[in-house]
Structure 1
Amino acid sequence: MPEQSPSPKRRGRLLRFGAAVVVLCAVAGYLVVQYVTGAGTPGCKVVSAKGGGAAYEFTPEQAVNAATIAAVGTGRGMPERAVTIALATAIQESGLRNLDHGDRDSLGLFQQRPSQGWGTPKEIMDPTYSANLFYEHLAKVRDYTRLPLTVAAQRVQRSGFPTAYAKHEPDATLLAAALTGESAATLTCAGRRTATQAAGPDAVRSALARDFGRDVLEPAAAEVGGATTPTPTPSADEGDGRTVTLPVTADTASDGGRGLRQRGWQLAHWAVANASALHIERVSYAGWEWTAGNTDSQWRRVGARAAGGAEKDADAVRIVTGR
């Protein structure tokens, strides 16, 4: 007697079961890839060093621009308050994005207008140029550090919405504390490491020179085979040629009268902010280490620091790039 074929209802159940198994396998495979590779939507976050839950989340693109604004400000010897004002202004004007459009002929991070004497379109679209120009005008505002943030920003910008900057002060304050080095281990980035520009030690050094000036590179040394030779080229860690070592000395920390620790954390946070753009895999400073692409990408204590010992390696920031 021939075997009866499954009823339509039973065939439907089998098909649904098979489809569910396929979906579950696909989801499991995706989660495994996410866990192993650290893939996912890239994102950055800065938190308050004082606790209390205050935090600001932003994209890698915004992180790069914010780090540039902070580096230019401290390079000019401007105080942290100036950096806060600049960051709040850029958040309001462009969302910390280097826009090639805006109201009328407004352009760039600060929506500066060529027709109003802010420079050529090409100049304004250079974040370092536009940040320098903002600080140049801010420095001319009398007692700007004592003014309400929105008043100081408006005297530079002459915006049609003069009170709009105030709402960004809390976020800008958190960013400024991290990106000037005032707070330690408070800025992190997580997600896929996708270089959006040239990567490697040379690219890192070029970006550092762009934001901080070439002086930040001059003390760098090459560590090859245990020997140390003064040179402006990237140092090599364990012979792999992927590590840029930035000494933190009294000379390099002199901008604005800032201390060694503050300078070190500024450079370390700058590197994390640029990790996605420059394919930076690891940053270490003063017994702390940040590694890109793991499940949470947080700063972690290492070595003696992890064991409750004394702070170590506070004399240099080490940036390890991808292969």
Structure 2
Amino acid sequence: MSSPAADRRARSLLLPLFVLLLVAALLTAGALVAVELRAGRPSAGEPRCVVSSTDESGDRRRHTLSAEQSANAALITAEAVERGTGTYAAVVALATAMQESQLVNIDYGDRDSVGLFQQRPSQGWGTVEQIMDPAYATAAFYDGLAEIDYASMSVTDAAQAVQRSAYPDAYAEHEDMARAFATSLTGRTEGSLNCVLAAPDRPGDPGAAAEALGGAFGGTAPAPVVDGEQVVVPAPGEPAGWAVAHWAVANAAELGIAQVSFDGRTWVRADQRTTRFAPAPGWVPGTGAHPDGAPPADDVVVVLASR
């Protein structure tokens, strides 16, 4: 039987060991967060959007962007859809914007570079005010891309031909992410984008959502119709319908979107909660999300958060 003195010595040795393990755990967590930030990805718990893809070896990979990055990615790919340039142009554009700005519309950069694509007024891209408009900057990039035979070029060569960067090989680092998000946001992969977001902090504005959606896709999708707390895009077909549906999910944080439905499936913002052992459910059958009757499968139906 151990003595009280021996028990005290054992406890005195355990306390430093516990503190050491706690410090190590905190340092490891901090290092992981730092890696995520350097990679331009959100840390655990932040609003985020995820697309899964399969690599050449058949392994599944998850590509994660923050809600802000995803909304900008959706803007960039919607421009490709509207122009009819195909998915590859969107891949080049996304890889470029990720390398240049981490897909964030920043008002600073190398020398006079600003915006999503770090375009420079001194190189003829436009005024600072123009370049800081993401829609203008994106259109300017695609205008530059249209002047070269990008379809026959690698992602990094095509990006470099437009950007004239001091680091021409860096764009290739983002090609896998760009392909996954471009394929999803152009509607080529169904129900492939999921965003995990906090509850809306204000009601959504159906009119504003319809205007933003219509402006993003122009005439490549039917005009959105406001119906109470909903915005309906009637029978857009595929892949346009999935492009619109994924765009709505990517912009859910900004526009106060609570649900998106298309093709018999529904994304429910309130249900996207992850646990240690299970991922967020993402898109689910519409009959399960709407037991009283699912929305018409041919329409994209966007439900705004209510008061």
Whether the aligned pair in 2 keeps the contact of 1:124 and 1:130 (CA below 8 Å) is yes
Deviation of 1:312 after TM superposition, in Å, equals 8.6
Deviations 1:272-321 (A, max 9, x none): 00011111000000011000022225111123999xxxx99442100000
Paired amino acid for 1:244: V
Counterpart in the other structure of 2:209:
204
Counterpart in the other structure of 1:238:
none
1:241-260 alignment, distance < 5 Å: 241-249=228-236, 260=237
Counterpart in the other structure of 2:23:
none
Counterpart in the other structure of 1:321:
304
Q: Quick one: which of 165, 176, 182 aligns to 2:171?
A: 165
RMSD over equivalenced CA pairs, Å: 2.4
- Counterpart Cα distance in 2 of 1:67 and 1:322: 21
Q: Quick one: which of 123, 145, 152 aligns to 2:158?
A: 152
Paired amino acid for 1:292: R
Counterpart in the other structure of 1:271:
248
Whether the aligned pair in 2 keeps the contact of 1:177 and 1:183 (CA below 8 Å) is yes
Counterpart in the other structure of 1:88:
95
**TM-score (normalised: structure 2):** 0.76
1:46-57 alignment, distance < 5 Å: 46-48=51-53, 52-57=59-64
Whether the aligned pair in 1 keeps the contact of 2:266 and 2:289 (CA below 8 Å) is no
Counterpart in the other structure of 1:256:
none
Counterpart in the other structure of 2:71:
64
1:1-323 alignment, distance < 5 Å: 41-48=46-53, 52-142=59-149, 144-194=150-200, 199-213=204-218, 216=221, 218=223, 220-221=224-225, 234-235=226-227, 241-249=228-236, 260-294=237-271, 295=273, 296=280, 298-303=282-287, 313-323=296-306
Deviation of 1:248 after TM superposition, in Å, equals 2.8
Deviations 1:237-286 (A, max 9, x none): xxxx110000134xxxxxxxxxx221110000000000111110000000
Aligned residues: 250
Whether the aligned pair in 1 keeps the contact of 2:295 and 2:301 (CA below 8 Å) is no
Q: Which runs of 5+ in 2 are unaligned?
A: 1-44, 274-279
- The alignment partner of 1:213 has SS state of helix
- Counterpart Cα distance in 2 of 1:49 and 1:287: 24
The structure 1 segments of at least 4 consecutive aligned residues displaced by more than 6 Å after TM superposition are: none
- Counterpart Cα distance in 1 of 2:91 and 2:151: 10
Counterpart in the other structure of 2:277:
none
Deviations 1:7-55 (A, max 9, x none): xxxxxxxxxxxxxxxxxxxxxxxxxxxxxxxxx5311111127873212
- Counterpart Cα distance in 2 of 1:269 and 1:121: 30
- Counterpart Cα distance in 1 of 2:101 and 2:152: 25
Whether the aligned pair in 2 keeps the contact of 1:243 and 1:318 (CA below 8 Å) is yes
Paired amino acid for 1:284: S
- Counterpart Cα distance in 2 of 1:214 and 1:206: 13
**Which structure has the larger Rg?**
1
Whether the aligned pair in 2 keeps the contact of 1:287 and 1:305 (CA below 8 Å) is no
Whether the aligned pair in 1 keeps the contact of 2:82 and 2:220 (CA below 8 Å) is no
Counterpart in the other structure of 1:22:
none
- Counterpart Cα distance in 2 of 1:297 and 1:87: 26
Percent of pairs with identical residues: 42
Whether the aligned pair in 2 keeps the contact of 1:98 and 1:125 (CA below 8 Å) is yes
- The alignment partner of 2:301 has SS state of strand
Name the structure with the higher helix share.
2
Higher relative contact order (CA 8 A, sep 6+): 1
- The alignment partner of 2:60 has SS state of coil
Whether the aligned pair in 2 keeps the contact of 1:73 and 1:132 (CA below 8 Å) is no
